[in-house]
Amino acid sequence: MNIVVVGCGRVGSQLATMLSVEGHNVVVIDRDDSAFRRLGSTFNGVTIKGLGFDEEVLEQAGIREADAFAAVTNLDNTNLMAAEVARKIFGVRHVVARLYNPVRERTYQQLDLDYVCGTTLVAESLMEKIKAGHGHHLNSIDDIEVIEFKAGKSVEGKRVGDLEIERHFRVFAVRRSRTSHIPDAAMVLHEGDIIFGAVKDEVFPKVERLMEG
């Protein structure tokens, strides 16, 4: 994949290096070129000095060919702006933003941005999100992931109980038309519903099929 990473701090440098080692084409943007010293010796991608929401800088980074975009600076506003430019102006399909201040979580959700909260953020989980390309990761508890995702066509007309997998996947909330529900097993779901659930890592591929593509 072609991936643009904005921010070369501790997490950004780890993320970029891991993606590079896996063979992806990685471009890292940071306003401070001394930050690139954090990149590991195995990093073989490209570095560009500049602002991650500057359209000219993004063009230079090859944003039009990017398969994924990660905004992981230590400033929520910068991450938000960069993510919106990548998605709305350049049409990058998969955009992930780092979130530090939980107060702004509502803003990220309203903009339908895929994000990882700074309190639980590790470079490994960010990389998995980039590779998976679906849903919002809300938290992790050992091998259980708490997620939020928009239901795809395959969910239309099914009941909550039809989706759940005993001891492996549980739906604990559904949001529809700005109204949130704590569902029972009989609740009928529709394409476009926002589903909140807890899933064991081993069955995540099955749950992924329920998500909007």
In this predicted structure, the answer to whether residue 194 has a pLDDT above a threshold of 50 is yes
At 111, which amino acid appears?
L
Residues 56, 16 share a domain: yes
Report the alpha-carbon distance of residue 125 to residue 16 in Å, rounded.
13
Inside any domain, residue 87 = yes
Total count of domains within the chain: 2
**Can you name the residues that pair with 150 across neighbouring β-strands?**
194
Question: What is the residue type of 92?
Answer: V
Handedness of CA 117, 121, 123, 125 (dihedral sign): negative
Look up the domain containing 21 and give its range. 2-133
* DSSP one-letter code for 86: I
CATH code of the domain covering residue 176:
3.30.70.1450
- The CATH number of residue 42's host domain is 3.40.50.720
Cβ 197 vs Cβ 175: under 8 Å: no
On whether both 124 and 155 belong to a single domain, the answer is no
pLDDT above 90: percentage of residues in the chain? 51
Tens digits of residue pLDDT in 80-108: 999 999 999 999 988 888 887 766 667 76
Mean pLDDT of 129-152: 71
Residues 181 and 114 in one domain: no
Distance CA 192, CA 97 (A): 22
Q: Do residues 159 and 129 both lie within one domain?
A: no
Question: Which of 37, 61, 39 lies closest to 51, judged by CA?
Answer: 61
Helix axes 123-132, 10-21, angle to 10 degrees: 50
114 and 46 fall within a common domain: yes
